[in-house]
Structure 1
Amino acid sequence: MRLPVIVGMGGVNAAGRTSGFQSFRRMVIDVLPEAQRRQTLVGLAVMMGLVAAEADGRFRVVHGIENTDNTDLAEGTVLDASAVAAGFAEVVCAGTLVRRVAPEYFNVDALHWQSNASLSPADTSAGLQFAMPLAQVPEPLPEGWSLDLVGDKEALVTVVGSVNVKLDNQRDFPVKAAGQLPSGFAISELYNSRFQPRGLQMALFGATDALRSVGIEWKEILRHVNPDQVGVYSSSGFGQMDQSGYGGMQQSRMKGDRVTTKALVMGINSMPTDFINAYVLANVGIASSSVAACATFLSNLRIAVADIQAGKVRVAMVGNSEAPIVPELMDGFATMGALATDENMIRTYGDAAVDHRRASRPFGENCGFTMGEASQYFVLMDDALAVELGAPLLGSITDVFIDADGIKKSITAPGPGNHITMAKAAAAVVAVAGEEALRSKSFVLAHGSSTPQNRVTESQIFDQVAAAFEIEDWPVVAVKAYVGHTIAPASGDQLVVALGAFVHGILPGIPTIEAVADDVHQQRLLIGPEHVQRNPEDLEVAILNSKGFGGNNASAVVLSPARTQRMLERRYSAETMAAYYARREISEAAASAYFLAADRGDYAPIYRFGEGMIADEAIVIDKLRVTIDGLPGAIELPTDNPYADMS
């Protein structure tokens, strides 16, 4: 069976850029070596628009720090990397991870809404009278209304009874924390975004970042595969809900505005796939969009892994983009009681004031999850193609398991499905890597949503599986403590951390909690606020777990680069692997050069709008194949009968 190998990753979430492990490093910045800490702070300072890279390797201050007597940080000052890291560390850290919702999203203290009111006349004998433009008089005329014309353009309206109206109003929004992209990072300014929804801008950025992280030109990859052996597996969970997508379409008529021509199309939840196919990869292969609530990433990953294992595709772009920090979505979750409100946090934690930085508290005393936004994309290849091209080796995916919950009395309640997926994942680890790898060299990336129900049910599953497979002190990582719940790409956030842990030997703790809640099952688990540092060689397997609304349970097995490489060495000859290592050095050097350039702000999304469109006359079809002028290789048509024994 072909092994799906991870050769690139890219994207962005509240912790920063995905490629080069920037976002991972931000999560564990307090235990990083000084050089990596400085690199992380400087790269984020550039991303946040605080400084701009100069040609000589130094940085010019774009936004000086207010309320400081340090003139060395004034606007226009040129600094070296050490000075940037020292001077802007506090601002960078404050402007990343979960934090108070910024005004550019919406005003959580004075959110605009329309309140209902009923207007009645003070003198009921005269009726209610008011003037209005004739063009604004509703048709048909409401019951009880009568008109007297005042000139050609105005009417005097008399109403018998009352009039129900909606008044512009403001209210305090109960949820004030979210995992927002780094403050000041504006993707729309990096390319001609054409008023595209935020989620699609993020998809272009994430796919571009992932593609460049491979260190091999896309056209070179295409030379080694047929045009239909490429697949993009992507979606958003809710669609694009801001004003440029479904949000604007749904609100327009209620606000007295017109629906724009693009709102419906741009809002569709498969649009991230379509944008990547059309504007980043120019792909004519598989386009696949799966949606499975919080397990959406793993659902897309399962299909991609299966297609690679079956030989349907040889290279896949897998990921999701979600921009859900909009009042409508957050209002919906808050009404369900799913989000952590300021009032509930004060009541639960006993604090006089709310610490929005600690809004997401997986496996601790908690009162709801925290919304986040993210774009996470990964480039997968079958092992033969990765070896042939000399692609970087970040790890591999052996299995993705998905099971439903069966009968339940609440569609959002948990059930047995996640017990099944986790048990299957643990057994699959034993089958592929052995019992010792599972017992002493594996860790779990928990769904860890920060709700009271999740902390009990998910920890019980982990503890039960650990007992069945004789695991002691099984490390559990909860990424949502740092970036919030990003819905569709949530398990993409997990995968980024898993790959980062393999390289850096750091399992991020849960710094937002002081202690694990009393009702958490942890007899065989290792959960806590502190980071756990291990020798990277002792981290070989990660299990990603997701518990989605409606019974969308999923668990995936991820192998480390070292474990994956040993598997490749068993499959291929020493000569083949030696050639692979030589080619890999070149691609890794190219990838490293991109990471350095990206840290200096060179990461504009690929946006091939209208470039190289395929005309009908460029397509040639015969009985055996389809060839397209300008694309290497051919699309072979099926000729074998897979059901020959039944024909």
Structure 2
Amino acid sequence: MRCNKMAKLPLIVGLGGINAAGRSSGFHSYKRLVCDALQDDVMASTWQDLAQRMGLDTSDINADIIAKIKAGTLVRRTTTFDPDAVPFQRKAKLAPAGSPIKFELKKSKLPHTIPANWLVNEIDNKTVEVTIDGDFDALINDLIAYPVSSAGNIPTGFDLDKLYNARSHPRGLKLTVYGASDALNSLGIDWDNILTLINPDEVSVYAGSALGQVDDNSFSGMLSAYAKGGRVSSKMMAMSLAEMPADFINSYVINSAGTTGTNMGACASFLYNLRQGMLDIQTGKAKVAIVGNAEAPVETGVMEGFRVMGALAEDDQLKALDNSDTVDNRRACRPFSSNAGFTMAESAQFVVLMDDELALELGVTIYGAVADVFVNADANKKSISAPGIGNYVTVAKATALAKAILGEGGLQHTFVQAHGTGTPQNRVTESHILSEVAASFNIKNWPVTAIKSYVGHSMGAAAGDQLVASLGVWQHGWIPGIQTIDHIAGDVHQANLNILTDHQFVGDKGQDMKAVILNAKGFGGNNATGLVLSPTQALTMLEAKYGAEVVSAYKNKNIAVKQRATDKDSNACLGDETIRYEFGNAVIDESGVDISEHEVRLQGFANAIQLAQDNPYQDYS
């Protein structure tokens, strides 16, 4: 094998997850986006998969079933809560009208500190009568219409609780277990077989959620329990942590003793984690890295925080844009057009990165390669939530690297997945960044799209939605256009850009596109831009590094691996899907650890963890 000393190329060899468009592996979520551009035979498996996931009749996928699938996917009226009847409590001061306020109450419900104006008389062993002399502060239950009814929920009818024993798990962790399992299913090689080929510490997992776990089984329930008369469970605190998706994957999905954590950067968090996994592969610290994010923020408490900032698209604003009495939930997110705000969404997206040498040895399918991810802050600015100068730097760096790798001609064959939130501020600032960079690098007609127009804004997982949709371009040839808009807003910068309002065909398996620029802008000045290379470009580079003979041998191995992955996908479409959740199985305790000067051996692992023998800083001594 011919190989010079150089950084390893982090290859994307697996992908999985779920968002408003469906399942990520098999590119089903991507195909849902461009369904009107693909042939019926190509779409058949995706309609089957979505029908299966949504609990619809799968015996005959006819026009009526497809219509139900379309209605229950992508951005739409939320299914997490009823926007017309959101529980609400109103503070009230009750005053007696002529006679004191009296009521009966169970003794167990009496406050620990009896108010001074309460007179309590025992009725029996369990019940008391309370007489209140004067006013009484109360909370009155109410139902209100919430101002925001649009969201990017996972497909209607997909019941996460039926996947595995998920009792008391926050929704974000249920999404994690599903997404990570889906990514492993896409490999075409059993995960346990991969573990026999690498050392236990040669796996990295970087996964989390930008907002943490925020439902009633986690942070929200924990903080509100006392105020609502509820109870804090022993699981809530741990389940609330932002890095819990990584912890779940390590302990219950892949049995990993390797590097772990999450790198948070608000709405850019997925790219922050992708960068960590990429660096571990490049430097040889890991041979496999699982990176991703899972987010379940379609909760009224979370949404209210963004709404009062003016960030969310409210129903009345959307009606005004359309001069209509009804809200068009499907078109709630309108990047680069006349718009009102972003649309909250839930998603879990994970990719498996692999060391290039190991990938060639195993014959795993190469879906793309992560060239680099650039992160820069905004420096001084007036508002912590406002965009700043950092994103100019990250986009310029990614574009410069694309030119260095692909050449000036190759740079013309790249496209952009914009952050594209659908806010008035984003449409101006991001379009200016892209237009300025395009002009500086002499890019004439840069294709720009924005996936949030289809699936909404899933916060920390958002760039994962962008990446999965981009990898689909290199399978089926279509860049999804922004179909929720009918015009480009007058204040959007368009010089040197081609903001796509319809799908664009870029050749069989996307051969006209050599790379994609993924852009993410997070609150607080968390800017990240990634450069991901096409599978064809990655193989060209691998052949230059290792030689044509090695790549040819790899392609032969890949035939069987790809077939196994295809078979797994076909089975999943029919409901036969492997969800990896191994709680309490083959637990390793202190008796399963054997330490010497040279290595650490762990029970159940084929190989040992090698301990340092040489001084890496000998040049300094």
Q: TM-score, normalising length from structure 2?
A: 0.96
TM-aligned CA deviation for residue 8 of structure 1:
0.6
Describe the SS at the equivalent of 2:388: coil
Shift, 1:127, TM fit:
5.0
Counterpart contact for 1:502–1:540, Cα < 8 Å = no
Residue aligning to 2:3: none
The aligned runs of 1:80-91 (5 Å cut-off) are 84-91=61-68
Task: From the superposition, tell whether residues 435 and 131 of structure 1 become closer, same or farther in structure 2 (CA, over 3 Å).
Answer: same
Partner of 1:481: 453
Q: Report the Cα distance in structure 1 between the residues aligned to 2:168 and 2:289, rounded to whole angstroms.
A: 28
What secondary structure does 2:325 align onto? coil
Q: Distance in 2 between matches of 1:35 and 1:540?
A: 27
Indicate the residue corresponding to 2:566 in structure 1.
592
Q: Is structure 2 residue 83 aligned with structure 1 residue 108?
A: yes
Distance 2:274 2:548 in 1: 31
Distance in 1 between the 2:570 and 2:124 partners? 70
Distance in 1 between residues matched to 2:515 and 2:324, nearest whole Å = 39
Q: Specify the alignment match of 1:510 in structure 2.
A: 482
How much has 1:247 moved relative to structure 2? 2.1
1:215 paired residue number: 188
User: Over residues 149-168 of structure 1, what are the superposed CA-to-partner deviations in whole Å (9 max), with x where a residue is unaligned?
Assistant: 45555444444442211111
Q: Where in structure 2 are the equivalents of 1:441-590 lying within 5 Å?
A: 441-535=413-507, 536-590=510-564
**SS of structure 1 residue aligned to 2:551:** helix
Question: CA offset at residue 88 of structure 1?
Answer: 1.1
- Deviation per CA, 1:309-331, whole angstroms, max 9, x where unpaired? 11110101111111111111112
Whether 1:384 and 2:376 are equivalent positions in the alignment is no
Q: CA deviation at 1:255?
A: 1.4
- Native 8 Å contact 2:76 2:150 kept in 1: yes
Aligned residue among 233, 243, 247 for 1:260: 233
Deviations 1:520-551 (A, max 9, x none): 10111111321111112211110000000010
Q: What is the SS of the residue equivalent to 2:427?
A: helix
Structure 2 counterpart of 1:300: 273
Map of 1:587-626 to 2, 5 A cutoff? Answer: 587-626=561-600
Q: Where does residue 19 of structure 1 map in the other structure? A: 25
Q: Which amino acid aligns with 2:240?
A: G
Q: Secondary structure at the match of 1:398?
A: strand
Q: Which amino acid aligns with 2:477?
A: G
Q: Deviations over 1:625-645 (max 9, x none)?
A: 101232111101122222223
User: What is the CA distance between 1:246 and its match in structure 2?
Assistant: 1.6
**Match of residue 7, structure 1, among 2, 6, 13:** 13
* Distance change (3 Å), C-alpha of 1:236 and 1:143: same
1:14-53 CA distances to partner (integer Å, 9 max, x unpaired)?
001000110000000001012112222222111211124x
Q: Which amino acid counterpart does residue 467 of structure 2 have in structure 1? A: L
Find the residue that maps to 1:614 and give its secondary structure.
Answer: coil
Is the Cα contact below 8 Å between 2:539 and 2:551 reproduced in 1? no
Q: Residue 120 of structure 1 corresponds to which residue in structure 2?
A: 95
Aligned length: 613
Q: Distance in 2 between matches of 1:526 and 1:85?
A: 36
Q: Are positions 1:288 and 2:261 aligned together?
A: yes
Q: Secondary structure at the match of 1:605?
A: coil
- Residue 278 of structure 1 aligns to which amino acid in structure 2? S
1:169 counterpart letter in structure 2: D
Matched residue of 2:607: which SS?
A: coil
Q: RMSD between aligned alpha carbons?
A: 1.5
Matched, 1:94 2:71: yes
> Are 1:38 and 1:85, in contact at CA under 8 Å, matched by a contact in 2?
no
Tell me, in whole angstroms, the C-alpha distance in 2 between the residues paired with 1:360 and 1:570.
43
Give deviations 1:559-586, integer Å, cap 9, x for gaps: 0000000000001123222221111111
Aligned to 2:52: 46
Number of the residue aligned with 1:33: 39
Kindly state the Cα deviation for residue 623 of structure 1 after the two structures are TM-superposed. Answer: 0.6
- CA shift, 1:615, in A, is 3.2
Secondary structure at 1:8 match in 2: strand
Please report the TM-score for the alignment, with normalisation by the length of structure 1: 0.92
In 2, Cα distance between equivalents of 1:31 and 1:136: 61
User: How big is each residue's C-alpha offset from its partner over 1:288-324, in whole Å with a ceiling of 9 and x where there is no partner?
Assistant: 2122110010010111111111111010111111111
C-alpha separation in 2, matches of 1:174 and 1:295: 27
Partner of 1:198: 171
Tell me which residue corresponds to 1:73: none
Distance 1:437 1:170, change over 3 A: same
1:65 paired residue number: none
Q: Secondary structure at 2:601's aligned position in 1?
A: strand
Aligned equivalents of 1:519 and 1:613: distance in 2?
59
The one-letter amino acid paired with 1:472 is: K
The superposition leaves residues 274-301 of structure 1 with CA deviations (integer Å, 9 ceiling, x where unpaired) of: 1111111100111121221100100101
**1:207 & 1:150 partners in 2: Cα distance?**
57
Q: Distance in 1 between matches of 2:476 and 2:489?
A: 29
Q: How far apart in 1 are the matches of 2:357 and 2:43? A: 36
Which structure 2 segments of 5+ residues have no match? 1-6
How far apart are 1:557 and its partner, in Å?
A: 0.3
Matching residue of 2:4: none
Structure 1 residue 135 displacement after superposition: 3.8
Identity over aligned pairs, percent: 45
Q: Deviations over 1:420-447 (max 9, x none)?
A: 0000000011111211111x21000000
TM-superposition CA deviations, 1:179-221 (whole Å, max 9, x none)? 0111111121122222322111111111111111110111221
Deviation at 1:93, TM superposition (A): 0.6
- Conserved 8 A contact 2:447-2:500: no
Q: Is the 8 A contact 2:543 2:550 kept in 1?
A: no
Q: How far off is 1:253 after superposition?
A: 1.5
Write the letter of the residue equivalent to 1:6. Answer: I
Tell me which amino acid in the other structure corresponds to 1:502. W
Residue 380 of structure 1 aligns to a residue whose secondary structure is strand
Summarize the alignment of residues 63-78 of structure 1 with structure 2, pairs less than 5 Å apart. none
Q: Match for 1:546: what amino acid?
A: A
**Offset from partner CA, 1:71-104 (integer Å, 9 cap, x none):** xxxxxxxx3xxxx1434111111111001012xx
Looking at structure 1, the residues matched to 591 and 129 of structure 2 have their Cα atoms a distance apart, in angstroms, of 65
State the SS of the aligned residue for 1:255.
Answer: coil
The more displaced of 532-541 and 153-162 is 153-162
Runs of 4+ in 1 over 6 A off after TM superposition: none
> Where in structure 2 are the equivalents of 1:166-245 lying within 5 Å?
166-245=139-218
Matching residue's letter, 1:390? G
**Correspondence for 1:359:** 332
The 2-side partners of 1:185 and 1:5 are apart by 31
Distance (Å, rounded) in 2 between the aligned partners of 1:424 and 1:496: 22
- Confirm whether residue 429 of structure 1 aligns to residue 402 of structure 2: yes
For residue 610 of structure 1, report the CA deviation from its aligned partner. Answer: 1.4
- Quick one: distance in 1 between partners of 2:64 and 2:321? 36
CA-to-aligned-CA distance 1:225-271 (integer Å, 9 cap, x gap)? 11100011100111221222222212221111211221111121111
Question: What's the offset of the Cα at 1:115?
Answer: 0.6
Note closer, same or farther for the CA distance 1:130–1:184 as it changes in structure 2 (3 Å cut): closer
Match of 1:66 in 2: none
